[in-house]
Structure formats: C-alpha cells, structure tokens
Amino acid sequence: MTFKILMFISLDKSIVTGATHHFKKTYQVNISPNMFFKSPLDIEIHFDGEDSRKVVEINNNNASSNAKSLKDQYPLYENGESLSGLVTLRVKEGKKVDHLGVKVNLIGSVDIAKSNSEYKKSTVDTFLCLSADLCPQGELMHSQTFQFSFKDVEKRYESYRGRNVDISYYVKVTVLRKSTDIVKIKKFWCYLYKTIPTSGPSGQNEDAKPVKLDIGIENCLHIEFEFSKSQYSIKDVIVGRIYFLLTRLKVKHMELSLITRETCGLEPNQLSDSTSIRYEIMDGSPVKGETIPIRLFLGGYDLVPNTSCNYFNIKNYLSLVIIDEDGRRYFKQTEIFLYRTRD
C-alpha cells in the first residue's frame, strides 16, 4: 500500500517526532543572494530540468535566525547522474566587471563540527571536486549565460545533514577577480539508492531472517522480541511481535523507538543520537503468554539510511522501551540497517 499524502498525527507532547510534511509540489528554489557585499555581478545558477525535478525538503537545523523557513528544499540527484545547467552572469546596469576567468565546480564535501558545542561545521574532506571553465579572462559588459555540464558524476555519499556532520553537494560558480572573487553556490541533494536485495545468495537470506531477541530482568520480566528482518528500506514496514514469557512488572505502556546515531571524529567520538520515531505499541500490563503485535510504517518519517565513511558513520537502532507504573523505563536497543530504495 502506498499513498501520496503523508501526515503524522501527533498526539502526545511526550512523543517527539521528526516527521515532516511532504507535499508533492515543486517549489521554486529560492536562494537569496549575498546581500552583504554590493556585488557588481549577480550569478544565477540554473540546473537543467530543475522545474520538473524532484526536490527534497530538509530541516534547516542551522537555526540561522534569518532563515525564513525551517525547511530547505533542494533538487534531488542520484549517483552517476549527470548534472548540467546554465550560469547567468548578470552585470548591473552600466557597470562592467573585469575578471580573471569564470569557472564552475561540482563539489561534494564532508563538514564536521569541531566539537559538540561548536555549531560551525568545517570541511574536513572534499571527496568530490569537478571543475570546468566557463569563460576565459575578460570583461563582462552585460549579462551573459554559459552552459555547463558534468557528465555521469559519481556521488560516493548520500547527502546528509546531521547535528555534527553534513555531507553536502553543490555547484560553485566562481568569477575570479584580482580582488575578491565573486562566488555563487547552489546546493543540490543526493540520494543513493540501493538496489532492492534480490533473493539468492546467503547474505540476502540473513537479512530476510527474523531477528529474535531474548531479553529480561531476572525474575521480573522475560520477553521475546521478534521482528521480521534486520535490514529495511526506509519506506518499509517493521513487522514483529513481542511475546511475554514472564511479567511481574506492572507495565504501563510500551513504545518502539527508532534512534539514528551519528558518530564522527576521532576518539573521543562525537556521538549524536536523535530519536526519529516514538511509537506506542502497547497500553496496559500484559500477562504471561500474551503476544503484542508490532507494525511500524517507516514511510511517513524522514529517516536516514545507514552511512559510513572515514570520518563518520550513521547507524539506526530499534529500541523497545517498557515504562512501568512507577515511571521507570526499561529498554533494549538493536541495530537495524536502513537503506534507500527507489520507490
């Protein structure tokens, strides 16, 4: 079952959700020009077919106060896809701009905040940097448009915006000058699609096998936690059950959480957990022998596939939380692997 409109119905303050509204509308990308300098030249980047391209809406957690919206929207590209477009250099009326040449770069970078407290992230690795010259040294008298094209660009990582780490892709147009260069960047987003695991080799079978966890507190609680597999597409449904072998605990309710953990840096690791989903799956205290069904649709949430590179990794954990009548929480986490598939 698929559906086009997703809505999260939030019901309880205690449940923090990372869900967002998605609308299948194409928005005009609107990146505001740099207003701090009275730039003599406006650079405009336009990707080919941008109007019809899928966009991704990302939480703007830079928390920059001047951001108009909490969401940023970026056109979406995938690995190996070519990116082409037009760069328009618009000279202000009656002015002329001398330059040392105009070039365009396609850059992929890893940006990491130095510490948890510091917000500003800096690039630690530029794993992708393609370059092309648009125009040799000269003088711009009036507006001029250039074409650019990067063919079959390999994008190693998926775009990511986390607490301490970002992976960003952007096109950067630089008008080289003797004085300050005039630069314009335009971000785009990249998804890496995993091919849907095909049946066959043993590895695939491993994933398809149900995961069983036997957990408990001695003489107090003993449950079997079972779910269908360990690897899920991010639009998948987690199906499982919880079997109560022993319950002396007065359970108030039980939740399932999905936790995304971002690890980066060297020792000591900068860890950042964020709860992507909190989902109540049981109300009341079951007796021995009860089986509680689990069904969690992931599709409505913004989830991040597992990612890992030299500088950081992102992992996903499924966490079962039992809250007893006295408010104590008991939980068990287990890693699950999330990947992105083409819809």
Partner 1 sequence: MSYAETIDEAIVNCKHQTVFMQRCLSQNALMDALKHTSIMLTELRNPALSPKQYYELYILCFDSLSLLSNYLVESHPKKHHLADLYELVQYAGNILPRLYLMITVGSSYLQSPDAPREEILKDMIEMCRGVQNPIRGLFLRYYLSQRTKPFLDNGLVDKKFSISFIISNFVEMNKLWVRLQHQGPLKEREQRTRERKELQILIGANLVRLSQIVENDVQLYQAEVLPSVLEQVVQCRDVVSQEYLLDVICQVFPDEFHLVTLSSLLDTTLKLNPEVAINKVVLNLVERLNGYLERKDGSLDADITSKLSSLDITDNDKNLFFVFWSYLNQISEERPDVSVLEFSPLIQSIMRLTLQWYPGKIANIETLFKFLYDKCKDYGKALPQEWDNRFEDVFFSEAITSDPEFFYEVLTKCEFYQKLLALQSKTLQKVMINKILDYLLSHDVRISVKAELEKVLLICEPLTTHQPQTPAETQSDALQLTANTEPGLDDWLSHPDQEKLVKLVHLCYSKSIKRHADLLLCCKASFHKGGKNMRFTYSAIICTFWKLIRRAHLKSIKKPARAEKLRAFLKQMFKFISRCANELFNVCGASCVDMIYKLHLETASLADQLSLSEIAYDFFTQAFTIFEDSLSDSRTQFQGIVNMAQALQKTRSLYDDSYYDTLITRCTLHGSKLLRKQDQCRAVYLCSHLWWATEISLLGEEEGVTESFFREGKRVLECLQRSLRVADSIMDSVQSCHLMIEILNRCCYYFIHGEEQSTHVGTKYINGLIELITTNIDALKLEEPSSENDLEPSQALYFIGPDGTYLHLPSNNSVSIVTTKPPAITIAELISIPTQYFQRTLDYIHDQKDVDVRFKAINA
Residues that bind partner 1 (CB under 8 A): 1, 3-13, 15, 17, 19, 251, 253, 278-287, 290-293, 295, 297, 300
Which C-beta is closer to partner 1: that of 274 or that of 285?
Answer: 285
Residues in the chain: 343
Minimal distance in Å, beta carbon 285 to partner 1? 6
d(C-alpha 44, C-alpha 86), whole Å: 8
Which C-beta is closer to partner 1: that of 178 or that of 329?
Answer: 329
Residue type, 212: K
By C-alpha distance, which of 237, 236, 204, 239 is closest to 339? Answer: 236
Query: What would the DSSP string read from start to end of 279-295?
Result: EEEEES-PPTT-EEEEE
Minimal distance in Å, beta carbon 55 to partner 1? 22
Minimal distance in Å, beta carbon 243 to partner 1? 11
At 252, phi and psi to the nearest 5? -95, -55
d(C-alpha 108, C-alpha 130), whole Å: 9
By C-alpha distance, which of 36, 101, 145, 121 is closest to 312? Answer: 121
Which C-beta is closer to partner 1: that of 170 or that of 301?
Answer: 301
Minimal distance in Å, beta carbon 338 to partner 1? 18
Buried/exposed code over 177-194 (b: 16+ C-beta within 10 A; e: otherwise):
eeeeebebebbbbbbbee
Which C-beta is closer to partner 1: that of 176 or that of 239?
Answer: 239
Cβ-proximal residues to 255 (8 Å cutoff; 6+ apart), any chain? 278, 279, 280, 281, 320, 321, 323
- Using the Cα atoms of residue 123, residue 160, residue 8 and residue 21 in order, give the sign of their dihedral: positive
Minimal distance in Å, beta carbon 145 to partner 1? 43
H-type alpha helices, the chain: 202-208
Which C-beta is closer to partner 1: that of 10 or that of 59?
Answer: 10
Minimal distance in Å, beta carbon 281 to partner 1? 6
Which C-beta is closer to partner 1: that of 177 or that of 253?
Answer: 253
